[in-house]
Amino acid sequence: MVRMPLTPAEVERGERLGALLRRARGERSMLSVALDAGVSPETLRKIESGRVATPAFSTIAAIAGVLHLSLDSVWAEIEPPVRTIGRVQVAS
């Protein structure tokens, strides 16, 4: 199966996700968080660096749970705000 190239918005979202997870991890080691979440340290490293811009939902959920982040707060942080132009809502 051929993977479609990521859109600029997907790349940006992946970078915001990585930054959020790095901040939330704080002083905890990447190894500790990865093992607690049941993912490889390499997977967490790639997500945090933005190299995996669209990780699986279950991976995000597991890491967020270990870092005590709600999925709502993760989404609010990584999704650009929606603004209304006339009667149409568009992402900023």
Number of domains in the chain: 1
47 domain residue, yes or no: yes
Q: What is the pLDDT of residues 51-61, one digit of tens each?
A: 988 999 999 99
Angle value at C-alpha 40, between 35 and 44, nearest 5 degrees: 95
Give the predicted TM-score (pTM) of the model.
Answer: 0.81
CATH of the domain at 28: 1.10.260.40
Q: What is the mean pLDDT of the chain?
A: 90
Return the closest-CA partner of residue 69 out of 11, 22, 14.
Answer: 22
33 domain residue, yes or no: yes
17 domain residue, yes or no: yes
What's the domain range around 56?
Answer: 8-91
